[in-house]
Amino acid sequence: MAAWREGRHYMIKGKVWLVGAGPGDISLITVKGLNAIKNAEVILYDRLVNPKILDFAPDGCEFIYCGKLPDRHFLRQEAINQLMVDKASEFERVVRLKGGDPGVFGRVGEEAAFLAEHEVPYEIVPGITSGIAAAMYAGVPVTHREFGESFAVVTAHDKSVDGKPNLNWEGIANGIDTVAFYMGIANLPFICEKLIEHGKAPDTPVMLVQWGTYSRQKVLQGNLANISALAVKEKFNNPSITLVGNIVSLREKLNWFEKKPLFGRQILVARSSSGASELAERLAERGADVIEFPKWKYEIVMPDVQLLEKLPGFKKILFTSPRSCDAFFKTLKERKIDIRKITADLYGSSTTLSAIENHGFSALPKEQIDKDNVLIVGEESMLADKLSFTQQFGSCDFWITGHKVMDDKYLPLFERMLQEADIDTVIFPSSSSVRGLDQGLTNLGENFGAFLQGKQTMVMGKQTAAALNDFYKDHVEIAEKPTIESIIQLAEQVRP
């Protein structure tokens, strides 16, 4: 598709998805929004997007931070608009990721209009807006038959010269039961004054919710007469929503999120592998904010040519993991090697057998393999057990399918997360995670020991504790058993 820019004719290659990421809890993104992220080639994301959601992006996806703060802009809106068009001329799938719902004070109308003007195809994917989600996570539905049948979302700052919102205060004060003001902390005294001036009772309940839907969520309750003073006393800041209405009184009965056993905990899980972490998922389910660091990616490597030539002669092939099995067959396909040349019996662990069968081969449990003339297929880390393999199987050859490397693309994201969160607990699931965190912190310019100071440090077993002792000599909590259940139980019992 052709378009024009600065008098020049150029081609639009792709399409832009304007996606609402939700309010913070990454599980609140829509299925359609998540699919857009999973298929994106480039993502332009805002400050209020939880960076953790970018974990779902494919390898090789380009990240561009467009974050804006009240006192400064990383990229101005005009530059963001043009960047979307530029990227759509380079890539087929461009995602513009915005916090909350892009249509609720997210300037999606301006961005969509710019794309339409430049003939760039686009879709708008709604998200859950923070005025509803933050209130619900604080225990307050925004409508209720007994307390409020009307609800409005209102910006607390607009284009007014003095920065004070120029609104229909009489209509808001007298015609709406429940009002959610977005980013209203700076103008809170003005908002309360105007609502009282136009008829709202001074004792009307008010609730402030900061970082709504995160475990670091903070809630402050008061009324129109005193909430401004309370906010100053408690040093309340944005990002916050201000909910005004009698419906706020329901919080005491309906507060559910803050009752989770790990609510308020900011936990860093040290990672040493790629893929999803069951431990991180389980901790988040129980209410914690979880940062997984560092981020790793898997790189496939090509085997030695001589090994490829020897492939038809092997009588037994042992795959050490499903990923190594998939990488093996992917390499054969890329090298155009006829799989009919494989005459060996194939073996694997219980989790690997199905991966082998998915490639059209029958397989046997690894316990049935006998000695000599064995090709062992696995990741580079298996070489640490090379002696054990040769003792068990005799004559062996090793096909290294790939290795994991730290994905430095995510380092700026982690830096932002660590700045905004207040990590109180660090969990090491394995010995290798100790070395991984040390490497990751070094790449961020952080000292390992200094980072752990003042934080609750937990390890999953004595072997991991011994590995950590080489780096850190202070007190460490050791889970009774090297299991996920045991480390979660320890986290719930021992508070920072």
Model confidence pLDDT, tens digit, residues 323-334: 899 999 999 998
Q: Nearest-CA neighbor of 170 among 206, 202, 203, 195? A: 195
Would the pLDDT of 161 be above 80? no
* Cβ contact 272:297 at 8 Å: no
Query: Which active-site residues does the annotation give?
Result: 46, 68, 183
- Residue 239: cis peptide before it, omega within 30 degrees of 0: yes
* Cβ contact 152:172 at 8 Å: yes
Mean pLDDT of 464-486: 92
Q: Where are the alpha helices (DSSP H) in 186-336?
A: 188-197, 227-233, 251-254, 278-285, 305-310, 322-334
**Structural domains in the chain?**
2-128 (3.40.1010.10), 132-259 (3.30.950.10), 266-295+407-493 (3.40.50.10090), 299-405 (3.40.50.10090)
Q: How confident is the model at residue 79 (pLDDT cuts 50, 70, 90)?
A: very high
What is the DSSP code string of 45-62? E-TTS-GGGGGGSPTT-E
Would the pLDDT of 59 be above 60? yes
Question: What pTM was computed for the model?
Answer: 0.85
Would the pLDDT of 464 be above 60? yes
Question: What pLDDT, on a 0 to 100 scale, did the predictor assign at position 10?
Answer: 57
In terms of pLDDT, which residue wins out, 207 or 373? 207
Q: How many residues does the chain have?
A: 496
Report the C-alpha gap between 369 and 360 in whole angstroms. 20
What letters, b where the CB count within 10 A reaches 16 and e where it falls short, cover 410-444? bbebbeebbebbebbbbbbbbbbbbbbbbebbeee
Element at 218 (helix H, strand E)? strand 218-223
Return the structure tokens found at 26: 């990454």
Report the C-alpha gap between 168 and 240 in whole angstroms. 22
Residues 25-34 pLDDT 10s = 999 999 999 9
Please provide residue 452's backbone torsions phi and psi, each rounded to the nearest 5 degrees: -80, -20
Mean pLDDT of 428-433: 92
Would the pLDDT of 5 be above 70? no
In terms of pLDDT, which residue wins out, 370 or 424? 424
Would the pLDDT of 1 be above 60? no
Residues 131-146 pLDDT 10s = 999 999 999 999 999 9
